Structure 1
Amino acid sequence: MGRNLDIGDRLRSERERLGMSQTEFAERADVTRKTLFGYESGERSPSADALAAWAAIGLDVLYVVTGSRSFSPGPAVTSEQRALIADYDVCSPSDQAALRRTAAAMALGASAKAETKKPVRTAKQLFTGKVAQVITGNVTNKAPITFNVGGKKK
């Protein structure tokens, strides 16, 4: 009984890591919620078929059975992420490809923004010359500019 309880605790832990309710998790293995409750409470052990079905959605079977991880689990999947995945799954293959390209471009843009955050430099520019003098160049100013025409009389 104790061994089954350990398996049940680890099965519950994996279900929670995957961000799934008991109902969702049971449906993935084609078992009832009551059967899943029996697994998680240690009353019974999950079948190989159930473990295989859950492995297909990311369950670490080695951890459930032995307590040793076969990988380092990532963070739990949020309900927003599950909704995004569900929306992706119902798209056509060409739309899925477009979504992957869009996500990759957005991720690249986000990382580029994070890498290019540089301190803002301010530059003082002094323009001197006769009235009606034309100043040319490739200087772009984003801050307000003040022009003082005329100087102090001596």
Structure 2
Amino acid sequence: MTELCNRLKNERKRTGLNQEEFGEVGGVKAGAQLNYENGSRTPDATYLNNLRKIGVDVWYVLTGEHLTSQLSGEESELLSGYRQLDTRGKARVLGVIDGLGIEPSIAAQEKKQAQLGHPQKVKKSFFIQDGRESTNISTDKTTIKVGRKKKDAL
């Protein structure tokens, strides 16, 4: 049981949430979350399913094995690296992906914020400043600037 508690706590820390926020996502109060993490209670399927919706690796929580068997080696390496990043690092990665023109990252950010109970509208703006093409990705609390040199037309 201790291993499950530790893995659950690791996943909570990986998501950057405190016990109250994590418990809220799972549909329980902070006290229940504390009991899950100290081993005095065992989480149920509904709780784990709710956590799965925000990206918690429930298979890892239950077995200690990350569910990456369906991923290629490169995808597994990227996912492993992404999971080790803090919130700012993850935002930078999403900014890079967005800068490449892959739009779902904005929708994914909004979906994740809504699931956490903190819906925020993600705003994206493009502009050219000092010969550089730039993008601002911002929420109510954070702004990420992504920029690159403007390419001349052929």
What TM-score do you get using the length of structure 1 for normalisation? 0.53
In the alignment, does 2:33 pair up with 1:24? Answer: no
| Contact 1:16/1:76, CA 8 A, preserved across alignment | no
Percent of paired sites with the same residue: 27
Q: 1:89 to 1:68 in 2, by over 3 A?
A: same
Query: Would the alpha carbon gap of residues 45 and 102 (structure 1) be closer, same or farther in structure 2, given more than 3 Å must change?
Result: farther
Q: Which amino acid in the other structure matches residue 69 of structure 1?
A: H
For the pair 1:60 / 2:70, whether they are aligned, the reply is no
Match runs of 1:37-76 below 5 Å: 37-71=34-68, 72-73=79-80, 74=82, 75-76=85-86
| 3-state SS of paired residue (1:89) | coil
The one-letter amino acid of 1:65's match is L
Q: Which has the higher strand share?
A: 2
Runs of 5+ unmatched residues, structure 1: 117-154
TM-score by length of 2: 0.53
Question: Within 5 A, what are the aligned runs for 1:131-142?
Answer: none
Change beyond 3 A, Cα 1:76–1:70:
farther
In our comparison, the structure showing a higher alpha carbon Rg is 1
Q: 2:87 aligns with which of 77, 81, 84?
A: 77
SS at 1:20 equivalent:
coil
SS of 2:55's equivalent?
coil
Distance 2:35 2:15 in 1: 19
RMSD: 3.4
Give the ranges of 4+ consecutive aligned residues of structure 1 lying more than 6 Å apart after TM superposition. Answer: none
